Amino acid sequence: MQTFYDFKKLLTIKRYAHNTIESYAGHLIAFQKFLGMDRPLDGLDNYQVNDAISKVVPHKNLALGTQKQLIGAIKLYFKEMHNREYDFSKVYPRSKPQPLPTVLSTVEVKAILNSCVNKKHKAMLTFIYGLGLRSGELIALKITDIDKQRQQVHIKNSKNGKDRILPLPASLKPVLKAYYLEYKPKEYLFEGQNKPQYSPQSLRKVFHIACKKANIKKYVTLHSLRHAYATHLMDCGTDVRIIKELLGHTSLKTTLIYTHVTTRTMQNVASPLDFL
């Protein structure tokens, strides 16, 4: 297991995102446990690794995304730690069609935010929706990333190592102030109970409890708040290229998915029934 921790240190030095490092290391450790401690991963050849992957996927009932992450972790581990290139084409899953995101209405988002009595919980969920953040971006936010003079929020080293600057909405300030005065965080904007950063698991739990209190019946995840942010901006007529920059997307193609769920374009289309 020691080489996996050395692998984590290497990825840290190379400035990989914190969530990526933890995810890759977690996949490697779990995979090694599946292999057994008497079969170290770095002692297996290409065939043996592929064979083990073909067994662990059904045994653990791994989701498509998890399977891809596991293969990505193993591939990078061998490349960085052992200078070995493996062929994973035989066990790499085919991409399945991307479903359209489930979109919360503005009424539903308001109900979720208003269901939060705890000021920290409300501030976290409001930040995600109000700025369209990924959960990892919220957790990584530091107090110094909030520029009150310029009314901006600096999102640093996000997905694909990208930074971006977001406008600080006026409606977010009272929520932020109420939270800050009560909790007085020191470095990270949202601290854990006994840790400098809030945990992803706890953040997801906060969201699901808020949804239950708000009586949300749709199947949604924490990321649905980011989907809602993008869709509601599009509903208001915001240019898709601006939304792309606000979300930090590399490709406009990724942002265009919201054109399929926005009400702005669909509501303007007449039905043939209207012509009868």
134 in active site: yes
Work out the average pLDDT over 147-153.
Answer: 92
| Active-site residue (options: 119, 142, 223, 264) | 223
Q: Which of 46, 37, 35 is nearest to 2 (CA)?
A: 37
pLDDT in tens, 31-77: 999 999 889 998 999 999 999 999 999 999 988 889 999 999 999 99
Q: Which of 73, 217, 233 is nearest to 166 (CA)?
A: 233
| Active-site residue (options: 27, 120, 122, 249) | 249
Distance CA 29, CA 240 (A): 41
* Domains detected in the chain: 1-82 (1.10.150.130), 106-266 (1.10.443.10)
- Which amino acid, residue 110? K
223 in active site: yes
pLDDT in tens, 84-115: 999 999 999 887 667 888 899 999 999 999 99
Q: Is the pLDDT of residue 273 over 60?
A: no
Q: Which of 64, 56, 58 is nearest to 39 (CA)?
A: 56
Strands (E), the chain: 146-147, 152-155, 164-167
| Active-site residue (options: 122, 226, 232, 244) | 226
150 in active site: no
pLDDT for position 17: 79
226 in active site: yes
In terms of pLDDT, which residue wins out, 155 or 158? Answer: 155
Work out the average pLDDT over 158-175.
Answer: 89
pLDDT for position 146: 94
Q: Are 32 and 1 in contact (CB under 8 A)?
A: yes
User: What residues contact residue 139 under an 8 Å CB cut-off, 6+ apart?
Assistant: 188, 190, 197, 198, 199, 200, 203
In terms of pLDDT, which residue wins out, 17 or 49? Answer: 49
Q: Which residues pair with 155 in a beta bridge?
A: 164
Q: Which residues pair with 146 in a beta bridge?
A: 153
User: What residues contact residue 272 under an 8 Å CB cut-off, 6+ apart?
Assistant: none
Strands (E), 128-167: 146-147, 152-155, 164-167
| Active-site residue (options: 142, 154, 159, 264) | 159
Distance CA 32, CA 1 (A): 8
Q: The pTM is what?
A: 0.72
User: What residues contact residue 66 under an 8 Å CB cut-off, 6+ apart?
Assistant: 27
User: What residues contact residue 11 under an 8 Å CB cut-off, 6+ apart?
Assistant: 20, 21, 24, 80
Q: Are 178 and 118 in contact (CB under 8 A)?
A: no
- Which amino acid, residue 213? K
| Active-site residue (options: 122, 134, 227, 244) | 134
pLDDT in tens, 187-226: 999 998 888 899 999 999 999 999 999 999 999 999 999 9
